[in-house]
Chain A
Amino acid sequence: MEETKSNGKTVQSLNDVTVMFAGDSGDGMQLTGTQFSNTTALVGNDLSTLPDYPAEIRAPAGTLYGVSGFQLHFSSSDIHTPGDSPDVLVAMNPAALKVNLKNIKEHALIIVNTDSFDPKNLKIAKYDSNPLDDGTLEGFHVIHVPITSLTTNALRDTNLSIKEITRSKNFFALGMMYWLYNRPVEPTIEWIKQKFAKNPDIAAANEAVLKAGYYFGDQTELFTTRYSVESANLPKGVYRNISGNEATAIGLVTASELSGLPLFLGSYPITPASEILQYLSTYKNYGVKTFQAEDEISGIASAIGASFGGSLAITTTSGPGLALKAEAIGLAVMTELPLVIINVQRGGPSTGLPTKTEQADLLQAMYGRNGEAPVAVLAASTPSDCFHMAIEASRIALNFMTPVILLTDGYIANGAEPWKMPLIEELEKIEVKFATEVEGFFPYSRNEKLSRPWAKPGTPGLEHRIGGLEKANITGNVSHDPDNHDLMCKLRTEKIQRIQNDIPELEVDGPSKGDVLVLGWGGTYGSIREAVDRVRKSGYKVSQAHLKYINPFPKNTREVLNNFKHILIPEINLGQLARIIRSEFLLPVIQLNQVRGLPIKSVDIQNKILEILGGNNGK
């Protein structure tokens, strides 16, 4: 931490900061957070975000359950999580303060909009007395800013209504934070101009308020210190900020281009997966066909129809939708058609926590179907990894003529990180060959991958029938023969196993042998990585391996696991991967499970690792 003086104020240089913007769901906190993230990315910090919004679209104003938050962690070095607990809380109302108080760091900086701490809002937030002056905030560094009145002041010469004026107060908070953390206002001004191009009055007002917030920071005596976070030393390349859902959508279009097949998406809106359907429906000039179906079942059924017709077929959903699609996935298993099913996991069971994250659909993805119905199961580990895994899921589906379930989750779907973009021409093509030869064509003959030929309608002489009834090996005719069914069940399972030959081995970060391996899958990658880094910094040896291919596991998985005395598996469920690892490899594993609808905190993983190491082991 370095200190210098500028403009009568101390400038303190920090390595990393976690900020939480919190307010009413109508206060524009998601927008504020996203703008702050984009600007932060542009100045070259590494960053990770966690939007956290209520399930209600417009919850009653001022309520605790109506609080919308946006957490952002940025740094001058490599980071992997949105931060365990915020260093700074911007609270636009009493409810936002109350909800976040238990989670912020000791001595954290709290910036409150004092205007909203009136008796009415205090009552709605269930405060008996005003926390700003009853000692509740003792120990914190609290800065009182009348954000609403300052905003009104800045716009007193405009013709805007009170409602319009107060609506732009989030820009005041944003401007103030830009000043505090030394970031330029220009990118947001640019954005405002584009976004409100049709409404120049509002654009001008927002810009004025943003600047007012910035100058307020500079002039007020409330702030004595300003902070700077130097740009991070990221690998060379061109970057953008990307969320998991957008990365998934772009990955699918890329897979379509790499395979030369038209993309078809059949989907039904469901939180937190709808964005993928929204993004893809804008990519019409990439030949993408999206079909918003009447229900989840039709979403997948239409995709199966498109797959039969020779498209790269996709369906996207979340947990409840995956349950509804189960029977149809079985049909795709039986008909051996390529299909990518993307499940952006959310809190369950039932409707559960629709806007919160969880990893509790792993067993559903693996086993949630009638009969022996094996499918490939993949999981993306970070927002940008969704791009690669969407391509991988497509590649495996097409090469092996099988449904593939790709698991992402609410956290990586909505969270964002800087992404070094690939060059499309450097990506490997996906080979697809349709059957055309009449001679020797059998719908259920197999190649070395055990994959059957794909003959699309329109091909003369290859007219054939497929369906959900058991198929006779090779001919594909309906068969109820006991030996044939036994053989076909085994062939379908063996086909999925052979995917092992086509996927990368499981990599170990850190020593390949040792006391502790932290094994994870999916969206917990960042939390684990950060915990492992911290443990290592304090001198311990610990290794990390992260599974992105779960069915089948990479070939060397057993070998990797056998090299460690203890295997710790942190998961946002009650032990689903742990259960699979135990049954598959007969290995004892240590679980760390939290189902709080939030990413696991790195500090909890860190403590668990230290507990296993037992003090000095491995130092």
Chain B
Amino acid sequence: MANNIDVNEVKLTAKDFSSDQDVRWCPGCGDYSILAQVQRTFPDIGVKKENIVWVSGIGCSSRFPYYMNTYGFHSIHGRAPAIATGLKISRPDLSVWVATGDGDLMSIGGNHFIHACRKNIDIKILMFNNRIYGLTKGQYSPTSEKGKVTKTTPYGSIDYPFNPASLALGAESTFVARSLDRDPKHLQSIIKRAADHKGTAFVEILQNCNIFNDGAFALLTDKETKADHVLVLEHSKPMLFGKENNLGIKLDGFRPVVIDINDGKHSVSDVWVHNEEDHHPIRSFILAHMTDDPKLPTPIGIFREVIKPTYDEGITEQIENVTKKKGRGDLQKLLFESNTWEV
């Protein structure tokens, strides 16, 4: 891991990361897969179990810390990024992870989320996006599509959803990615990359809530349809997809269009080549907004990763610099600093 965190000596297994608590999500819930992929990946991120903390808010996803055999904090609705921020600033030696959902992070916790991104706090945020409120039994969420009929929107929702990747990019998160609960290999690779990233890492995981919003991402996960609807982003590779891998994304100005590289008119050299390290953010926004257009596939993978100093590094550095300049603080001197007189 790129962080300044102690690494493992003995190789752990997925089982070492499983706590003694019974997992209580509904049978069939996509959260099970996410938990399994995290437990499978964590032996490879090279951080000692005791140096890992999972922080969560409220919602189905936020039960996550109970099932991880690491330090954990199941907090209050929306506040996980703020708690994780304080923990990471005060303890830069820890690897701090946030498990959260679309309601927890994008609605009640929106403010904490954007500011954690803006400050580049070195925390990893996994947002399980099922586009519904599960734990409160089926109300629409800030990522539900417009027109969605739920218990609180019997005539269809009127408001427009957040595009989580775009929001994270707009808030200057230095690592923005998307994956799927039903694509274990891909999810594992993204978790690993998030762990390696130094700075705020935001991962949107499209997750099926089979009770209140079943099939929300069926197009992206069903065997028959997924190849034509999912675009797997790979760094410095052309954006190709489709059953035959013959479809590609071409950038027509700022507009992405689908081309067939075998139609005789186009070739692979017309296809947009993904650059996750692109310093200019504009292309990552184009990728994020591809989900808005039903004619385009949904990209998964890493939209953007940039490296810049983290907040927690900054604060430590400032303390070191001031201490070097002024010397280690002497309390008695602090008291006597201002005008004193003796009686």
Contact = CB atoms under 8 A, between A and B. Distances in A.
B244 interface: no
B180 to A, nearest CB: 27
Contacts of B56: 467
Interface stretch (B47-55, B150-158, B184-192): B47-55
B94 interface: yes
B303 interface: no
B94 A421 contact: no
Contacts of B332: 423-425
A240 B340 contact: yes
A323 to B, nearest CB: 15
Contacts of B94: 309, 457-458
Interface stretch (A51-59, A283-291, A565-573): A283-291
B331 A284 contact: no
Contact of A305 (B83, B327, B342): B83
Given A284-B318, A477-B21, A239 B90 contact: no
Nearest to B319: A284
Given A284-B319, A424-B331, A465-B73, A294 B115 contact: yes
Interface in A243-268: 250, 253-254, 257, 262, 264, 266
Interface in A427-463: 456-463
A306 B87 contact: yes
B174 interface: no
Contact of A264 (B86, B335, B342): B86
Contact of A465 (B66, B327, B338): B66
A236 interface: yes
Given A304-B83, A309-B87, A239 B329 contact: no
Contacts of A456: 91
A391 to B, nearest CB: 12
A236 B72 CA distance: 53
Interface string A387-431: 000000000000000000000000000000000111111000000
B53 A457 contact: yes
Contacts of B331: 250, 253-254, 257, 286, 424
B339 A241 contact: yes
Nearest to A287: B319
Contact of A466 (B73, B79, B90, B93): B73
B254 interface: no
A234 interface: yes
B65 interface: yes
Contacts of B79: 297-298, 301, 328, 331
B82 A302 contact: yes
Q: Using C-beta atoms within 8 Å of the partner chain, give the interface range for chain B.
A: 35 or more
A250 B71 CA distance: 33
A335 B56 CA distance: 14
Given A235-B343, A284-B323, A309-B90, A463 B49 contact: yes
Given A465-B74, A466-B72, A250 B334 contact: yes
A298 B112 contact: yes
A308 B83 contact: yes
A501 B185 CA distance: 58
B23 interface: no
A154 to B, nearest CB: 26
A305 B87 contact: yes
B85 interface: yes
B135 interface: no
Interface in B24-69: 48-53, 55-56, 58, 65-66, 69
A464 B50 contact: no
B50 A457 contact: yes
A463 B338 contact: no
B177 interface: no
Nearest to A239: B341
B13 interface: no
A469 B74 contact: yes
B88 to A, nearest CB: 8
A301 B72 contact: no
A306 B89 contact: yes
A589 B340 CA distance: 43
B328 A458 contact: no
A364 to B, nearest CB: 19
Contact of A421 (B72, B325, B336): B336
Contacts of B48: 460
Given A297-B79, A297-B82, A465-B65, A308 B340 contact: no
Contacts of A313: 86, 90
Q: Which of B56, B82, B115, B338 has the largest count of A CB atoms less than 10 A from its CB?
A: B82
Contact of A310 (B72, B91, B114, B318): B91
A285 B87 contact: no
Interface stretch (A37-45, A554-562, A595-603): A37-45
A301 B112 contact: yes
A115 interface: no
A425 B330 CA distance: 12
A294 B87 contact: no
Contacts of B115: 293-294, 298
Contact of B71 (A291, A304, A457): A457
Interface in A505-546: none
| Interchain residue pairs A-B with the least CB separation, the first 9 | A467-B74, A302-B86, A305-B86, A301-B82, A286-B329, A465-B72, A305-B87, A306-B90, A305-B83
29 contacts: A41-B339, A237-B342, A238-B340, A257-B331, A264-B86, A285-B322, A285-B327, A285-B328, A285-B329, A287-B329, A293-B85, A294-B114, A301-B82, A302-B85, A304-B86, A305-B82, A305-B86, A306-B87, A308-B83, A311-B90, A330-B76, A421-B335, A422-B335, A456-B91, A460-B49, A466-B72, A467-B66, A467-B75, A468-B75
